Amino acid sequence: ARERFLHTFEEIRQNFIRIFKELFQEGDEANLKLVYDEDEDGKISDDPLEAKIEITAKPRGKRPTSIELLSGGEKTLTAIALLFAIYLVKPSPFCILDEVDAPLDVANLGRFNRMIRKFSEKTQFILITHNERTMESVDTLYGVTMQEPGVTTIVETRFK
């Protein structure tokens, strides 16, 4: 189990570094590290199955920081990069994202939608969004409404 975990971790780490560069700009870097905890006696455990997974991100020109110091939009993009890094190792048949694109600016929204398109060969995506640019980039659009108060109906479906 340890070998398998370490092998998977290394694969995800490589993917994460590559995808992070694609989602952010030239010069942005990120990394994943296994951090081994100290127990009460100060002994450092060497069991990777117990270790924490630390994300460090270094946006262009900035010093490497913990992800806590990133902005709202940068955090969202970092989490998406991690999710896709895992999907590369183990594709999920479908992925539903509920207003995950809300904090993104216009440029990052474009990169996000291009990445979704790329991964859609192996994974089905269902996106809930208020962003008009995201609506334009999908294959099928389902409109919902509450014409009768309190009752949801599906109004129209538009195929590209």
Ligand X SMILES: Nc1ncnc2c1ncn2[C@@H]1O[C@H](COP(=O)(O)OP(=O)(O)OP(=O)(O)O)[C@@H](O)[C@H]1O
Q: Are strands 124-128 and 94-98 parallel, antiparallel or unpaired?
A: parallel
CA dihedral angle for residue 25, residue 114, residue 144, residue 94, rounded to 10 degrees: -110
CA 97 and chain centroid, separation:
10
CB of 57 to Mg ion, least distance (A): 15
Q: Is 33 in the site for other proteins (CB under 8 A)?
A: no
Q: Is 106 in the site for a second copy (CB under 8 A)?
A: yes
Compute the C-alpha angle 150/151/154, nearest 5°. Answer: 140
Question: Which residues inside 35-94 make contact with other proteins, applying CB under 8 A?
Answer: 52-55, 59, 61-63, 65-79, 82-83, 86, 89-94
- Token pair for residue 138? 């999908």
CB of 71 to Mg ion, least distance (A): 5
Question: Which residues inside 64-123 make contact with ligand X, applying CB under 6 A?
Answer: 65, 69-74, 103
- 70 makes contact, choosing from a second copy, Mg ion, ligand X, none, with CB < 5 to 8 Å by partner type, with ligand X
- 65 makes contact, choosing from ligand X, a second copy, Mg ion, none, with CB < 5 to 8 Å by partner type, with ligand X
Residue nearest ligand X (C-beta atom): 73
CB of 49 to ligand X, least distance (A): 32
15 with 8: CB under 8 angstroms? no
Question: How many residues make contact with ligand X (CB under 6 A)?
Answer: 11
CB of 106 to a second copy, least distance (A): 8
Go through 128-143 and write b for each residue having 16 or more CB atoms within 10 A of its CB, e for each that does not: ebebeebeebbeeeee
Q: Is 115 in the site for other proteins (CB under 8 A)?
A: no
Distances (CA, A) of 70 to 77, 114, 141: 10, 23, 33
Instruction: Give the interface with Mg ion as residue ranges (CB under 5 A).
Output: 71-72
